[in-house]
Amino acid sequence: EEEASLVHSSPSDFVKAVKNVSFGLDKSECFILLGVNGAGKSTTFKCLTADEKLTTGEVIVANTRVEEFYEDSSKMANAIGYCPQTNPLVYGLSVKENLEMFAKLKGFQ
């Protein structure tokens, strides 16, 4: 089971965009994060994919601390699949179709 425990604040430290998030996933599990606008979903995934640095806490993906992915993002691409809400990776496909296609590429049925 992979672990994630993180807190992320805006650069001005005015707003805690993500506070006390903690969860674990087995390698074969899929995970969808749902919530209202401004709840911190995008920021959470930016922290999980090393696009944003954590203020406190840690994220471990594939037995590797996410900080190690800051210098080599290609390692992250092999460890986690992520489909952001904007700019679909394959134009003309729905979100579901994009997710299904990339899940199949990663060996999911």
Q: Which residues contact 50 (CB under 8 A, 6 or more apart)?
A: 66, 67, 69, 70, 73, 76
Q: Is the pLDDT of residue 6 over 60?
A: no
What does the H/E/C string look like for 6-18?
A: EEEECCCCCCEEE
Identify the residue with better confidence: 56 or 6.
Answer: 56
Q: At 85, is the pLDDT very low, low, confident or very high (cuts 50, 70, 90)?
A: low
Any idea what DSSP says for residue 66?
Answer: G
Q: Is the pLDDT of residue 107 over 70?
A: yes
| Boundaries of every domain in the chain | 2-105
> For residue 55, what pLDDT is reported?
75
The lowest-confidence range among 4-8, 83-87, 90-94, 103-107 is: 4-8
Return mean pLDDT, the chain: 73
CATH entry 3.20.20.70 includes domain 2-105: no
